């Protein structure tokens, strides 16, 4: 019993990397983990559709406070594009709208079209998505048979590689910015090839530093919890935010930060791995005390007397 209690205590603050299986919604996974941990606050960063599989970051306890920073992470996917069929949802769960022969589509043509979609591109969010127009999610309008005008968004496709071509199915490796709809990418590539297409399969391989190789299925989470070992798999808030720079402050300043007070420039003892260039002016920064504990997240202040404005306190007052 002591091991179980220790596991619960160790698992209440941080990020758990779940390997979501097909059929589970992201909400299902969160509800299962919340029930397992006895009602501890649980959330997730980056929804996966029920048919998709792979990495789902599950946020536990104070981990839910850092969701807005984690959604900025880039993501890596393995997707299968099926050419010759368009669907209303742009994936295999939808109704087929049109079919075309793919006999004349060559591997060379596929590689050429794929090359057009690398880098910054404009993408129109699909109708079957949670994007809101006029306060109404697009999927609700789609289910009512309505098509809503929506603006294109700029996304970045960092990497787009063809891993395999098997008849009309093209396996792709995609590394992309937040806000990218891989099924829309597949549909757009099919359209560019003149035969249409949809996303047949999707596996998320990585979200920021969280990889599928270190992810646990829901069943594995249940087993690890029963053995009292789940805490070993929870990434601390500080490690989850490892890509952010660090400002180290003295104990007196740390105590003020716990109450939300800004950090004067003179009170910063040192910077560690601070982002440089223009990104450093706008990027969030971890605020550490002299013991190396994560106290809060801050951003550069507009007040010339302060270096950092506290955005999020991550340690309880008086700790």
Q: What is the residue-averaged pLDDT of the chain?
A: 88
Three-state SS at 31: helix
Which residues are CB-contacts of 161 (< 8 A; sequence separation ≥ 6)? 114, 172, 173
Lowest mean pLDDT among 31-40, 72-81, 137-146, 180-189: 137-146
10 Å Cβ neighbour count for 272? 12
Closest to 195 (Cα-Cα) out of 157, 158, 218, 169: 169
Q: Given a cut of 60, is residue 118 above it in pLDDT?
A: yes
* Nearest-angstrom CA–CA distance, 197 and 101: 11
Output 275 or 183, whichever has higher pLDDT: 183
Of 54-63, 212-221, 275-284, the one with minimum mean pLDDT is 275-284
Q: Which two tokens stand for residue 134?
A: 């006029």
Structure tokens at 292: 């190396």
Q: Name which residue leads in pLDDT, 277 or 132.
A: 132
Backbone φ and ψ of 29, nearest 5°: -65, -45
**Secondary structure of 47-68 in HEC code, one letter for each residue:** CCCCCCEEEEEEEEHHHHHHHH
What is the rounded CA–CA span in Å between residue 202 and residue 106?
23
Burial of 58 from C-beta contacts in 10 A (0-12 / 13-18 / 19+): buried
| Known catalytic membership, residue 238 | no
Say if residue 199 is exposed, middle or buried (CB neighbours under 10 Å; 0-12, 13-18, 19+): buried
Contact at 8 Å (CB) between 102 and 119? no
Q: Which of 13, 49, 91, 188 is catalytic?
A: 49
Helix axis angle, 107-116 to 182-192, nearest 10°: 130
Q: pLDDT grade, residue 235 (50/70/90)?
A: very high
The answer to whether 52 touches 10, Cβ cutoff 8 Å, is: no
Which pLDDT score is estimated for 151? 83
- Eight-class DSSP state of 276: -
Over residues 22-40, the mean pLDDT reads 93
286-318 pLDDT, tens digit per residue, is 999 999 999 999 998 776 667 899 999 998 644
Domains of the chain: 2-72+209-238 (3.30.2350.10), 75-207 (3.30.2350.10), 244-313 (2.30.130.10)
Which band of pLDDT confidence, cut at 50, 70 and 90, is reported for residue 2? very low
Burial class of residue 276, CB neighbours in 10 A (0-12, 13-18, 19+)? exposed
Tell me the H-state helices in the chain. 2-10, 26-36, 67-70, 107-116, 138-143, 182-192, 218-226, 237-240, 251-258, 277-282
Q: How far is CA 11 from CA 149, 239, 303, in A?
A: 44, 14, 38
- Separation of first and last alpha carbons in the chain: 27
Q: Which residues pair with 225 in a beta bridge?
A: none
Highest mean pLDDT of the ranges 139-153, 160-174, 286-300 = 160-174
Residue 37 has pLDDT above 60, yes or no: yes
Q: Is the pLDDT of residue 236 over 80?
A: yes
């Amino acid at each position: 019993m002591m091991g179980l209690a220790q596991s619960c205590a160790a698992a209440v603050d941080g990020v758990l990397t779940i390997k979501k299986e097909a059929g589970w919604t992201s909400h299902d996974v969160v509800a299962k983990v919340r029930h397992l941990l006895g009602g501890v606050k649980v959330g997730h960063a980056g929804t996966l559709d029920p048919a998709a599989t792979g990495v789902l970051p599950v946020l536990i306890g104070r981990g839910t406070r850092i969701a807005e920073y984690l959604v900025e992470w880039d993501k890596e996917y393995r997707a299968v594009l099926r050419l010759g069929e368009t669907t209303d949802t742009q994936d295999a769960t939808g109704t087929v709208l049109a079919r075309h022969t793919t006999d004349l589509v060559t591997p060379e043509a596929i590689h050429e079209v794929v090359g057009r979609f690398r880098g910054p591109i404009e993408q129109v969010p699909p109708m079957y998505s949670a994007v809101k127009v006029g306060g109404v999610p697009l999927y609700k309008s789609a289910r009512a048979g309505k098509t809503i005008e929506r603006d294109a968004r700029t996304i970045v496709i960092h990497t787009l590689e063809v891993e395999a071509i098997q008849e009309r199915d093209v396996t792709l490796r995609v590394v992309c910015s937040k806000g990218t709809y891989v099924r829309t990418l597949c549909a757009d590539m099919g359209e560019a090839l003149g035969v249409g297409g949809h996303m047949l399969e999707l596996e998320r391989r990585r979200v920021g530093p969280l990889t599928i190789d270190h992810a646990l299925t829901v069943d594995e989470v249940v087993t690890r919890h029963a053995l009292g070992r789940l805490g070993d798999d929870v990434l601390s808030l500080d490690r989850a935010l490892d890509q952010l720079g660090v400002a180290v402050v003295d104990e007196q300043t740390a105590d003020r930060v716990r109450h939300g007070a800004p950090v004067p420039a003179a009170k910063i003892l040192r910077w560690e791995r601070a982002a440089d260039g223009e990104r450093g002016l706008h990027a969030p920064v971890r605020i550490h005390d002299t013991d190396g504990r994560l106290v809060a997240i801050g951003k550069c202040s507009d007040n010339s007397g302060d270096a950092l404005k506290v955005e999020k306190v991550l340690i309880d007052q008086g700790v």
